[in-house]
Structure 1
Amino acid sequence: MQRQGSGGNAAVVVRVIGFVLLIAHLLLVAWTGLLPRDVAWVTAPNTVPLAGLRADLALGPAAAARPIAGGLLLLAPLGVLLPMCDGRLDASRWGSLTRTTAAGALVSLALELLQTAVPGQVVDVDSVLLNTLGVALAHLLVVPAARVRLRRRRESPEGRPQGRVVTGNERAQGGTPRIPRVPIAR
């Protein structure tokens, strides 16, 4: 099955680069997130949504900025790398956002569940929420604008649209036949 607007060799190169960067990022996240910590005590797991964020904000905005920013930024690159691996320029905006956000939530949940077996690491539901929000925000900020730019670039090297874009499947089969309307006989 051919993807819509596959774009030839350039699209394959972008997908391969996206896949390599995705694997590198996931390995880095796994290494940092699953590293055992030597601590004298371990806090209780946070299973109440937003309780940890409220506690951080109670300490003041400056103290809360680091854990909140860290939670938002940890998996944010997935919001760009997952659609990059997919390689579709004509994908639905909401469908792409939904797929990417769901995948980011599942990766974050898997990371939190794996942390239960690591000494010094505890489960925090707020981490899952922040990581998922970070993936969604990164996707919203980068992917739609990048797809529009790449579509314009695909249509014309000068940036001027030159009519309808013909996909590879249409080139192989020929254009869509145009049949003139015939009036109904009385």
Structure 2
Amino acid sequence: MSGVLLAAHLVLVGWLTLRPLDVPWAAAANLTFLEGIKADLAYGPLEAARRIGEGLALLAPLGVLLPLAGGRFSGSSLGAWSSLARTAGAAVLVSLSIEMLQTAVPGQVVDVDSLLLNTAGVVLAHLAVVPALRARLRRSQGPTPRIARVGIDPWTEVLSAVPREY
């Protein structure tokens, strides 16, 4: 189910960002970091919040859908950090792919700040939702089983019953 949601979201993002726009003129590409955000802030607080919020929200669902589709919700805190790194890396690649594909679409303009905002939105969504989902999953699984005997791991008894051939 999460794979279907992921595919549906990517199709929607593709439609929103890669459809040709009929505009009389197009602005030049922005290849300077934070220049577009500074320009957005010049429009005033409400318009800046709308424009920056759109950049943050466009790919934000990937922060939850990618770990769900990958099935990587259980694990240690080290796994949580690697999940965040994998999700952020995938977000950068998806956003960069969209920006590169936009170079061939009439009316669409490349903006390096959208790469920053899209990735930040994915990371923020991941940090806001995934730890809570992991905690809920751990609570639903019950307590971790404990071994009464010290020094014996759970598979020792199983593996000792299997004859070894050398």
**TM-score, scaled to structure 2:** 0.85
- Matching residue within 76, 93, 116 for 2:103: 116
Question: What per-residue deviation string (whole Å, max 9, x for no partner) do you get for residues 26-52 of structure 1?
Answer: 011001110100001100100000001
Matched, 1:136 2:123: yes
Q: Which residue of 2 aligns with 1:100?
A: 87
Give the Cα–Cα distance (whole angstroms) in 1 for the partners of residues 125 and 47 of structure 2.
24
5 Å-filtered alignment, 1:49-128, equals: 49-88=33-72, 89-90=74-75, 92-128=79-115
**What is the CA–CA distance in structure 2 between the aligned matches of 1:106 and 1:73, rounded to whole Å?**
17
Deviations 1:93-144 (A, max 9, x none): 1101000001011000000100000000010000000000000000000001
TM-aligned CA deviation for residue 77 of structure 1: 0.3
CA RMSD of aligned residues (A): 1.8
Residue of structure 1 equivalent to 2:22? 38
What TM-score does the superposition give when structure 1 sets the normalisation length? 0.76
Q: Which moved more, 1:133-142 or 1:85-94?
A: 85-94
Which aligned segments of 4 or more residues in structure 1 are displaced greater than 6 angstroms?
none
**Unaligned 5+ residue runs, structure 2?**
148-152, 158-166
Structure 1 residue 59: deviation in Å? 1.8
Unmatched runs of 5 consecutive residues or more in structure 1: 1-16, 156-160, 167-173, 179-186
Deviates more, 1:22-31 or 1:91-100: 91-100
Change (3 A) 1:134 1:165: farther
**Count of residues paired in the alignment:** 149
